[in-house]
Amino acid sequence: MLDYLSRANALLPRLRSRAATWDRERRYCHENVSDLVAVGLMGMSIPKAYGGPGLSLAEIVPIVEAVSGACTLTGRILVEGNMGALSAVMAYGTDTQKARAAALVLAGDKPAICITEPGAGSDAQAMVTRATPVPGGWRLDGIKHWITGGGVSKLHLVFAQTRDGIRGFLAEPGPGLRVARLERTMGLCGMPEAELRFENHFVPADMALPEVGFSQLIDAYNTQRVGAATIALGVASEATRLAQAHLTDRQQFGRLLAEFQGLQWMLADMDTELAAARLLVKDAAASADPFPDRTKAARAKLLTSETAVRVVDRALQMHGARGYGGDTPLERMYRDVRMFTIGGGTAQVLRTQIASHVLGRKLPQGRPAVDQIRGADMAAE
C-alpha cells in the first residue's frame, strides 16, 4: 500500500496545478485519468486474477484522501475506479463480467452506477426503468437522472425492474442509450451529471448480473459512501493545511494571524473534527467484507461530509476576501465539498438509516398501493 500511496503523492503537484482548469472550463480531466492509469491507481481493488493488485478498501482510503485534497474531481474518479459499481461487479458478477469491468477500469474508465430517476431519488425502489427479456438478452427502457460520468463512462451498472424485482445490468454505449441532457452543477464542474435515456437498448444475456436481492446489490453502494466520505475528508484536510499556512504567513495589526486566540481556536476545532471523522472513515473501511457495514458507512459519510463543509467554510473565512475570490482554491473547494452531504445518500437519509439501526427497525419502505399497481402492470406485459 505504501508504494501506491507514494505513487499518488508523486502526482499531487501536477493534479493540484490543473484543478482550477477543469473547474473553469467544466471539462473532464482526461489528462489526470491518464496519469492515474500510468501509475496503477485505477482498479487497485481489482483482484490479481483479473489484472489488479487486489488492495483492500482500508489500503485504498489513504490514497483517495491524498488525491482528493489536490483535486476533488480526480478523487471522485479514483473512487469510481475502485469502488461503487466496480465493487458490485467484482462481488456478484460472472467471470466474463468481472473480466470486462476490469479491462475497462484498468484502461481508465470510470464506471457509472445508474440508480436515480426523475421520480426515484432517495426512494430507489420507486424506479420504473424496465428490463424486458428478448431473444439473446434484455431490452432496457427508462430514464436515469443525475448519473455521474454520463457521456464519459463506458461501463454502466443499471438497476432496472424485472418481473421478479430489481436487477442489475451492465450496459455500454450503443444504440438506444443516449445523453438527453447535462446538469449545470454548483461544484465538481468537470464531472458530467447526465440524464440518460434507455430506449430499446439491448443488453446481451451474459451482461445481466446473476439474480441477487436488491438489498445485496445496494450493499455495494456502502463502498461508494466510504469513498465519498474519504473525498470530503481529503478536501477538508487540504483546506486546513491552507488555513494553517495562511495564519503563519499573514500579518494584521502588526502580528501574525496565528497569534490571535480566536483563530487558533477555529483551527483547533477544525483539526479535532477532522481527526474524529478520519477515525470513522477508517473504521468503516476496515469493516469491509467485501462491503463496509452499512451503519458504519452511513456514520462515516454523515459526519465527514458535514464536517468537511464546516471546515472548508472556516478556512475560507480565515482567508477573508482572498478566500472568497479566486486567489486561492478555497472558493472552488467550498462549491465542490457541498455535494457530499447530498450525493450518495443525503444527510437526512443517513440519519434515518442510523436511527433505524439504533432502534432495531427497518427503514420505512412500504408503498403497497404503488407496488400492487406496478406488479399488475408488469404482469400484463
How much is the pLDDT for 371?
A: 39
Average confidence (pLDDT) over 315-319: 97
SS3 186: coil
Domain 215-359 in the same topology as domain 2-106: no
Answer whether 227's CB lies under 8 Å from 57's CB: no
Confidence of residue 247 (pLDDT cuts 50, 70, 90): very high
2-106: which CATH number, 1.10.540.10, 3.40.50.300, 3.40.50.2300, 1.10.10.10? 1.10.540.10
- Residue written as cell 480565515? 318
Alpha helices in 53-163, H assignment, sequence order: 57-70, 72-80, 85-92, 95-106
CATH number of 112-212: 2.40.110.10
DSSP codes, 261-292? HHHHHHHHHHHHHHHHHHHHHHHHHHT-SSS-
> What angle do the packed helices 261-286 and 57-70 form, to 10 degrees?
140
Beta bridge pairs of residue 130: 141, 161
- The C-alpha cell at 182 is 447535462
What is the domain partition of the chain in residue ranges? 2-106, 112-212, 215-359
Spatial neighbors of 359 by CB under 8 A, at least 6 apart, are none
Residue 1 confidence (pLDDT): 63
| Total-model pTM | 0.92
pLDDT band at 374 (very low <50, low <70, confident <90, very high): very low
Q: H or E element: which one contains 353?
A: helix 347-359
pLDDT score, position 327: 78
pLDDT of residue 368 exceeding 60: no
Query: In the structure, what pLDDT confidence band is assigned to residue 348 with cuts at 50, 70 and 90?
Result: very high
Q: Which of 177-186, 289-298, 365-374 has the lowest average pLDDT? A: 365-374
Which homologous superfamily is 215-359 in? Butyryl-CoA Dehydrogenase, subunit A, domain 3 (1.20.140.10)
